[in-house]
A and B are shown apart, each in its own frame.
Chain A
Amino acid sequence: MRPAWLVTKMEDLAACPCCTVGVGGKGFVERTLLGIASFFKEAIFSEEIARAPGFLQHLDPRVKLFSFALFLVAASLMKKALPLLGLYLFTLLLASASRITLGFFLKRVFFFIPLFSGLIALPALFLVPGEPLITFFSLGGFTLAITKSGLSSAFFLVLRVATSVSFAVLLVLTTRWPQLLKALRIFKLPQVFVLILGMTHRYLYLLIALIEEMHLAKKSRTIQRDGLRKEQRWVASRIGFLFGKSRRMADEVYQAMISRGFDGEARVLDTFRMTRMDVLWLGLSVLLFVLALWIGGIA
């Protein structure tokens, strides 16, 4: 027997500015949804770059991985700024030959720089002894100044990190994720790492989609905005729910793998084919590696 209120039309709610959703800027739910949407947009955009008919996209992923590993080693060992700057400019050339817009590429690379090197490079400006360039103050025997050699050390560190990050970003942007994982496996990276990387990538999307659905469900039932404390409680409960859900999902996925014969060894179907261009690129990379170390000096 259905209760009477359930099958009776409700009186219309009077439109009231104090309880209209969206008044006073974007709420927490809206902001989360926008963040999730931008995550997916970014992922689709990266996928489009990896499928674009650019120079690096045409290379065999194994060759690309090997040559980029050489460049990374060179960037770590070089001790002269000018040749290192040349190697950095080479990454910009590669980006443009691979149909990556420079603005997007620089944004991607320099997002990481303050994170990884800025904090280390900043004290070097002041701590490396040398001729002062800008003096802030002198007190007794202590002088706080940016030194010439400090600036040069900080610049060199940032340049080294920027070059390395540029190669890493180029590799990830121009290689489809599954091919990259497969190439890593062919280079004998322990299969457990490759498997975990692959599944993390896959389930990140699944969980993000789940978060989006939870927020949309909340939005569809939000008649008036909750107070901060209530929203915090809701977020905490959803974090707990997601944790439980991802644990159950992990169990189920493992069972599905066992069911299809997984015995701890992930086998890979090697479908890569090397072309003449790959051989040429490989030769050029080795030559560049030797040149970089010769001109740039080994640290």
Chain B
Amino acid sequence: MKIFELKDVSFAYLGRFPALRAVSLEVRAGEKVAILGANGSGKSTLLRILNGLVFPQTGEVKAFGQPLTENGLDGAFNRFFRSKVALLFQNPDAQLFCPTVFDEVAFGPLQLDLPPEEIHQRVEDLLKLLRLEALRDRSPYELSLGEKKKVAVAAVFSTNPDVLLLDEPTASLDPRSTRTLIDLLVEANEGGKTLVTATHDLHLVPEISDRVYIFSEEKRVAAEGRPEELLADVEQLAKWNLIHLHKHAHQDYWHAHLHEHPSKEHTHNE
């Protein structure tokens, strides 16, 4: 079953600044899809289109087989769509608008009119999982950037959506929180959830995707394929600005090579 289907979608901010150009792609139920691209390649805009927050000037977007338009997202379909699809924003400050951490995590389930006991249970479970219990009564403005990000993650998971759209999910998280989140995402996918993750962090790609779309700096889909195939093409990755020439020291000498995916070992013959 296709969750999302985009055909020749173009979007420009204020009608003047292009963010996406003739993008066609699809996401099927239960898939892990990574959207890779350098800064400004249109990844965040794509996620907002998939979440029905902004609408393209040209092209066609379908979600769950129905056209995803401003007028179409109304009434019963809006409720169905919002309960199924959740977006983790890149900027946690935009996502946290409630007075306390507890209220923030409870906001989504409250909108779904869940019973209060279930809302309490979900919030407590997520606060415990993400080690946020000590922050439950704090205001979001009192938190560090990493803590805000964790609260935003908890807030997105609290509605238990089937489709997770994640915009740079691990940015500003410490190593332990990154690991917790990645494990959670992988487990959620194994449980049948669909993941669409926008990132330029190649470390994450093999775990969080079984299919990859690469966006060029011209804001078009430059390639689509399996992560192991695309990540092996070092020259193309450099062209798409996803890896760079990396200079580093080895005890007594300096050496430069293209900085690629870390799980791929490299040897030095100097």
Residues of A participating in the B interface, judged by any CB pair closer than 8 Å? 176-178, 181, 198-199, 201-202, 205-206, 209, 249, 252-253, 255-263, 267-270
Contact = CB atoms under 8 A, between A and B. Distances in A.
Given A178-B100, A269-B119, A253 B94 contact: yes
Nearest to A195: B97
A182 to B, nearest CB: 8
Interface of B: 48, 51, 53-54, 78-79, 82-83, 86-87, 89, 91, 93-100, 103, 106-108, 110-113, 116, 119-120, 137, 139-141, 155-156, 159
A217 B111 CA distance: 40
Q: Which of B51, B93, B116 has the most CB of A within 10 A?
A: B93
B87 A261 contact: no
Contact of A259 (B82, B98, B120, B140): B82
A260 B107 contact: yes
Contact of B53 (A181, A199, A259): A259
Contacts of A199: 97
* Majority-rule SS of B interface residues: helix
A205 B141 contact: yes
Contacts of A198: 97-99
Among B79, B87, B107, B155, the most chain A Cβ lie within 10 Å of the Cβ of B107
A177 B141 contact: no
A269 B97 contact: no
Contacts of B111: 260-263, 267
Contact of B110 (A177, A201, A258, A269): A269
A253 B97 contact: yes
A178 B99 CA distance: 5
| Residue among A181, A249, A255, A261 with max Cβ neighbours from chain B (10 Å) | A261
B87 A259 contact: yes
Given A198-B99, A269-B116, A269-B119, A261 B83 contact: yes
B94 A261 contact: no
Given A202-B141, A259-B86, 5 more contacts: A252-B94, A255-B54, A261-B112, A261-B159, A267-B111
Given A252-B89, A263-B78, A202 B53 contact: no
B53 A258 contact: yes
Contacts of A252: 89, 91, 94
B99 A181 contact: yes
Contacts of B140: 202
B79 A261 contact: yes
Nearest to B116: A269
Contacts of A267: 110-111, 113
A256 B82 contact: no
A260 B79 CA distance: 10
B103 A269 contact: yes
Nearest to A261: B111
Report, nearest first, the 8 A-B pairs whose CB atoms are least far apart.
A178-B99, A261-B111, A252-B94, A205-B141, A261-B82, A267-B110, A255-B53, A260-B108
B141 A269 contact: no
B54 to A, nearest CB: 8
A253 to B, nearest CB: 5
B48 A255 contact: yes
Nearest to B100: A178
B144 to A, nearest CB: 12
A262 B97 CA distance: 12
A268 B137 CA distance: 15
